[in-house]
Structures are given as structure tokens and as C-alpha cells.
């Protein structure tokens, strides 16, 4: 098993799975962090490494779909895959991000939300919010390329009506931990929840800015653990008993 992505030095995934293997007394499992420039040769990598399954992170959650034989219905509706199993030689895509985000978000339906980002993680967040009946808009630095998305300036104009802000971009991730995806920290207010999917470092600069202005904050560590646990359930049938 493995995690694939372009840059993985920030990831806690190997630590999570290694601890899971030890807790369950499994010595037949190994979890690796595998940095790749693209996923163009993913099939050969699977064969060469004898991989039974792997997780996918930024920026490949959408790109990986073109290389899969099967995408399950939930992942297909989301439009992003973060977990792949190898079944009878076929690559099968799943999405555990959406359920993990939904499981770790406790907020009332009808809440108005903004999602920073338009990539695979943002797509999973959007799916979970839709399932919970939460009204949301995506915010993008290039809204002209993403139908329905708002610019950051447009988002700032409606910020007083927002009760949930989700950072689904990698901005603020170690080692660029001095950066924040939101340019105007004075916009944060009491009664708002800021959910930053970044978990390394924690608190992020975004979370500190939000807390300084009275907002509640949470990082993405609980979501990471939950999506990894759900991924493990997909991997388990393909391990030796």
C-alpha cells in the first residue's frame, strides 16, 4: 500500500497505517510514500511494486480517474478519487474523503458555506455539504475557469452571511506554513467555523487568524484519520487472511 502525490514530506499517512498494522499484529503489510511527477505510468508502477491498493493526494485526485478501469458510483458523482484498490488486475477508484469530511463536520443544515479551492479535495467537500443540506459556493483565484465559482473579492462581499469556511487548498501546508489562503483575516467573525483540511502544521496560519477574530477552528487531522480508516476497509479484503 502507498500514498502517491507530487510532494509528500508533510504527510502523516504512513505513520497512521504503520500504527494500524502494529495494532492489528500484521507483519505482511507495508505503507510507502511515493512522490511522482505524473500518474501517466501508474499501471506499470502497480505491477512493479506489487501494490494491492494506494491512496491519492494533491494534485492527482482528478487526473488518476483517466487511468482507472472502474470508478465506484460515489467517486464518479464526486469527480475525484483518493483511494484505489487493485482487483483482479483492474484499478478500481473510490472516494473516502467525502464521507470522512462529513463524519467530522457537525454543523446545521441550511448553513451557508464557502469552499476555498476547486480541486479533488474541494469536490469531496462539496459532495458532503450537499448531502448535509448546506448551501455553498466555491471560491477560486481563476473563477473564469470554474463555472459557478466566485472570485475571492466576490466572496469577501458576502462573508458576513457565511457560517462555515472550508480551506480545500494546500495553502498553509508545511513547509509553506507562513501562508494563509484568505487575504483578509479581519473578515472572520464570532459564530463562524473555519475548517482547514491542512493538518500539518496545526494550527495553521488561517486557523490562528480566524481564532484571533473569534471564529471556531478545526484542522484536517480527524478527517485524515477517518478517510484512512475507510480506505483500510477497502484494502482489507485484498490482504492475506
Q: How many CA atoms lie within 13 A of 129 on its CB side?
A: 23
* In the block, residue with C-alpha cell 480506505: 231
Whole-number Cα distances in Å, 122 to 36, 76, 117, 140, 146: 22, 14, 6, 11, 12
Distance CA 214, CA 219 (A): 16
Residues 221, 219: Cα–Cα separation, whole Å = 6
Whether the ω angle into residue 161 lies within 30 degrees of 0, i.e. cis, is no
Q: Known catalytic residues?
A: 61
Amino acid at each position: 500500500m502507498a500514498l502517491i502525490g507530487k510532494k509528500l514530506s508533510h504527510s502523516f499517512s504512513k505513520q497512521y497505517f504503520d500504527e494500524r498494522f502494529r495494532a492489528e499484529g500484521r507483519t505482511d503489510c507495508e505503507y510507502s510514500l511515493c512522490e511522482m511527477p505524473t500518474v501517466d505510468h501508474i499501471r506499470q508502477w502497480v505491477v512493479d511494486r506489487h501494490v494491492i491498493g494506494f491512496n491519492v493526494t494533491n494534485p492527482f485526485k482528478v487526473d488518476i480517474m483517466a487511468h482507472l478501469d472502474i470508478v465506484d458510483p460515489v467517486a464518479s458523482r464526486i469527480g475525484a478519487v483518493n483511494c484505489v484498490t487493485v482487483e483482479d488486475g483492474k484499478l478500481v477508484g473510490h472516494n473516502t474523503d467525502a464521507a470522512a469530511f462529513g463524519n467530522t463536520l457537525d454543523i446545521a443544515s441550511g448553513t451557508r458555506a464557502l469552499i476555498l479551492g476547486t480541486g479533488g479535495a474541494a469536490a469531496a467537500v462539496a459532495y458532503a455539504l450537499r448531502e448535509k443540506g448546506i448551501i455553498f459556493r466555491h471560491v477560486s483565484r481563476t473563477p473564469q475557469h470554474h463555472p459557478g465559482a466566485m472570485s475571492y473579492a466576490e466572496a469577501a462581499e458576502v462573508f458576513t452571511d457565511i457560517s462555515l469556511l472550508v480551506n480545500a487548498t494546500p495553502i498553509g501546508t508545511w513547509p509553506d506554513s507562513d501562508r494563509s489562503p484568505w487575504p483578509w483575516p479581519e473578515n472572520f467573525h464570532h459564530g463562524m467555523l473555519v475548517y482547514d483540511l491542512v493538518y500539518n502544521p496545526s494550527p495553521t496560519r488561517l486557523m490562528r487568524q480566524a481564532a484571533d477574530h473569534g471564529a471556531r477552528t478545526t484542522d484536517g487531522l480527524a478527517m485524515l484519520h477517518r478517510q484512512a480508516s475507510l480506505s483500510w476497509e477497502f484494502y482489507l479484503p485484498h490482504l492475506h487472511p
